[in-house]
Amino acid sequence: MKGRDGKLTVEDLTGGNFTITNGGVFGSLMSTPIINPPQSAILGMHAIKDRPMAVDGKVEILPMMYLALSYDHRLIDGRESVGFLVAIKELLEDPTRLLLDV
């Protein structure tokens, strides 16, 4: 919360980054990605598999992929990280939004 309090230094921001890891190519269904300093966050993407889902009161088989976001809570609040994950989910579910920037 140093950023919110206006106390970040150049050293706090140097070398930080965001990483995407794709364990799905190795068949991973779920994991918790580990942040390597000075990363601020890491998004883990996993294998897409058919799974049963309830849709309008009926069971349908749909492709699903788990996402996992690990982040440094000193830099990022939970509310913002959940909002980011929701945005990623919505873009993956409807990639035309990403291509058309809507």
Is residue 95 reached through a cis peptide bond, with omega within 30 degrees of 0 on the bond before it? no
Residues 6+ apart with CB under 8 A from 97: 90, 91
Burial class, 92, CB count within 10 angstroms (exposed 0-12 / middle 13-18 / buried 19+): middle
Closest to 74 measured CA to CA, from 12, 15, 10? 12
Q: Which of 46, 72, 73, 101 is catalytic?
A: 73
Q: Which of 12, 77, 94, 101 is catalytic?
A: 77
Residue 77 known to be catalytic: yes
Residues marked active site are found at 73, 77
